Structure 1
Amino acid sequence: MGESRTELIAWVNDLTQLGISKIEQCGTGAVHCQIVDSIYRDVPLSKVKFNAKHEYEYVSNFKILQGAFDKHKIENSIPVERLQRCKFQDNLEFLQWMKKYWDQYYPGGTYDAVARRKGADIGAKPAAGTASTRSATSSTSNLKKTPSVPSVATSTNRLAAAAAASKRPAATSRAPAGMASSPSQWEAEKQELEQEYNRMVQDLTQQVLELKVTVEQVEKEREFYFGKLREIEVYVQQLLDNGSTAPPMSILQEIQGIMYKTEDGFEVPEGAEYEEETY
């Protein structure tokens, strides 16, 4: 059984110094980025929006988290669509998995979370008197990794969120908290998200086209070989109906001719020859 809500919140705050008060606050993806960074020390936290307030900002954070998962071959899918709704149960289960993974792979030693993210915060402050660094040793608990889900599913989640973000109005006179105060910087981030959305649309469209071509090729091969079997069936039936006394060799040669017949798209590879079997 995984850790309780209270235990997980205490662990997250001790490790990250973010001062979260609810499990639902992990739905922005920022907390998970910092947890993975505490293990590998290579997550680009400067790009993580710790004070994220909008869905498209959550998507940006989870994109960074997915990149870290892919880089370190972490074989667990990230349920972005469910996590970014900031519901308690979904975020509790994923955070329990993150804690188990951290217990197994945390290298130990001191991790200065505040310095790693250059002072960025989610708004709430840690309790007074809490040190800005922590020291921990890795646990010996074992983790059974969950098989990964095809990347198309995760891409679809990010695509839906990015699509919603692209429809949002341009920046108003006052940028939301945690975002760039300059309208030009705000517009640049919006354009970057729109470009990412367009790239994902193109990637998924290309995948659909490739799958369509594959299906058509398989169907063509199926019809080709079925046609051969049908020709053999008809030929044998004709011999039986006519009471044919044709020599066995000529019958075999006729069947072999049907089997080795080719058509467009099913050419015999250059240099390859069929060997006549001996009966």
Structure 2
Amino acid sequence: MGESRTELLAWLNDLLQVGYTKIEQCGTGAAHCQIIDSIYRDVPLSKVKFNAKHEYEYVANFKILQNSFDKHKIDNAIPVERLLKCKFQDNLEFLQWMKKFWDNYFPGGNYDATGRRGGKAGADTPVRGSTQKLATTTTKRPVAGAGPTKAVRSSVGARTTGEAAARSADPQRNSEIEAEYQKALQDMQNQVLEAKITVEQVEKEREFYFLKLREIEIYVQQQIETGKHPEETVLTNIANIMYKTEEGFEIPQGEGAEEETF
């Protein structure tokens, strides 16, 4: 069983010098990027959005994390679509895996988390879907029967005007955010598709040349076994080349020629 929520938060805050209060805050991807940086010291933290507040920013952070996974051949899938929803259970399970990975590969020594991220704060990221406490201003209660003071009227008027402007700007801003998120998501999907196509092409090419070499191998073996050809020396040399291995390489025990790959 992995560490508890309290243990994980204590470890995370101590390592990264942040003040996370909820596991769900890891859904931005920023903390995970710096955990990997504490191990390899090569994550481009200047590109990580530590105060990310929008989903498209979360996606960008996870893209940086995926690039680091690929670079260091970390064989574990990142459930981006689940994590960026900032749900407790999904983020708890992934953070438990990250802690286990860190325990195995952290090189030790001091890690200047704040310096590595250029002094950027990393603890005031709001959790999506949560209700933030609004600051309130206490005003002196007016005398009964008296109208609102000039200062109060000005404050109310300014606040009303600001709220109206914010409401009118929200639809446009939301549309921009949605467009940016869709573009980032489409870019990631295109990259995955390109990688899949490349792998398929490499596998087809490998199989093509393997079959050709296998045919040559069978033919050479047959000719050597008959012993009726003056080219036997040549065929023997070809066979020796085909079976030659690099220094330190050993053919796996129990595998036949049919299972060999080139």
Q: 2:71 matched to which residue of 1?
A: 71
**In structure 2, how many angstroms separate the alpha carbons of the residues matched to 1:24 and 1:82?**
11
Tell me if structure 1 keeps the 8 A contact 2:60–2:184: no
**In structure 2, how many angstroms separate the alpha carbons of the residues matched to 1:79 and 1:110?**
30
Change (3 A) 1:72 1:31: same
Change (3 A) 1:94 1:48: same
> Is 1:54 matched up with 2:46?
no
Q: So what's the TM-score if we normalise by structure 2?
A: 0.52
> Is 1:198 matched up with 2:199?
no
Q: 1:35 matched to which residue of 2?
A: 35
> Is 1:85 matched up with 2:85?
yes
Q: Give per-residue Cα distances to partners, 1:219-259, cap 9 Å, x unaligned.
A: xx9xxxxxxxxxxxxxxxxxxxxxxxxxxxxxxxxxxxxxx
Q: 2:6 matched to which residue of 1?
A: 6
**In structure 1, how many angstroms separate the alpha carbons of the residues matched to 2:115 and 2:174?**
26
Q: Give per-residue Cα distances to partners, 1:246-276, cap 9 Å, x unaligned.
A: xxxxxxxxxxxxxxxxxxx9xx659946559
Change (3 A) 1:124 1:76: same
Q: Please state how far the C-alpha of 1:172 moved relative to its aligned partner.
A: 7.5
Change (3 A) 1:193 1:210: same
Query: Unmatched 5+ residue regions in structure 2?
Result: 126-169, 227-262
Query: Unmatched 5+ residue regions in structure 1?
Result: 126-170, 177-182, 222-264
Q: 1:45 matched to which residue of 2?
A: 45
Tell me if structure 1 keeps the 8 A contact 2:32–2:65: yes
Q: So what's the TM-score if we normalise by structure 1?
A: 0.49
Q: Please state how far the C-alpha of 1:175 moved relative to its aligned partner.
A: 8.8
Q: Give per-residue Cα distances to partners, 1:70-99, cap 9 Å, x unaligned.
A: 322333332223222222112112212222
Worse overlay, 196-205 or 51-60: 196-205
Amino acid aligned to 1:106: F
**In structure 1, how many angstroms separate the alpha carbons of the residues matched to 2:63 and 2:25?**
17
**In structure 2, how many angstroms separate the alpha carbons of the residues matched to 1:66 and 1:57?**
14
SS at match of 2:110: strand
**In structure 2, how many angstroms separate the alpha carbons of the residues matched to 1:209 and 1:271?**
26
**In structure 1, how many angstroms separate the alpha carbons of the residues matched to 2:181 and 2:86?**
23
Tell me if structure 1 keeps the 8 A contact 2:55–2:181: no
Higher relative contact order (CA 8 A, sep 6+): 2
Q: Please state how far the C-alpha of 1:35 moved relative to its aligned partner.
A: 0.8
Q: Please state how far the C-alpha of 1:9 moved relative to its aligned partner.
A: 0.8
How much is the aligned-residue C-alpha RMSD, in angstroms?
4.1
Amino acid aligned to 1:116: R
Change (3 A) 1:102 1:196: closer
Tell me if structure 1 keeps the 8 A contact 2:16–2:114: yes
Tell me if structure 1 keeps the 8 A contact 2:66–2:78: yes
**In structure 2, how many angstroms separate the alpha carbons of the residues matched to 1:17 and 1:108?**
16
Q: 1:20 matched to which residue of 2?
A: 20
Q: 2:119 matched to which residue of 1?
A: 119
Q: Please state how far the C-alpha of 1:20 moved relative to its aligned partner.
A: 1.1
SS at match of 1:100: helix
Q: Give per-residue Cα distances to partners, 1:28-85, cap 9 Å, x unaligned.
A: 2111111111121111111112222333322222222122223223333322232222
SS at match of 1:111: coil
Q: Give per-residue Cα distances to partners, 1:164-217, cap 9 Å, x unaligned.
A: xxxxxxx987699xxxxxx9xxx9998666545434444445667888x79xx9
The within-5 A match list for 1:216-227 is none
**In structure 2, how many angstroms separate the alpha carbons of the residues matched to 1:24 and 1:99?**
15
Change (3 A) 1:207 1:93: same
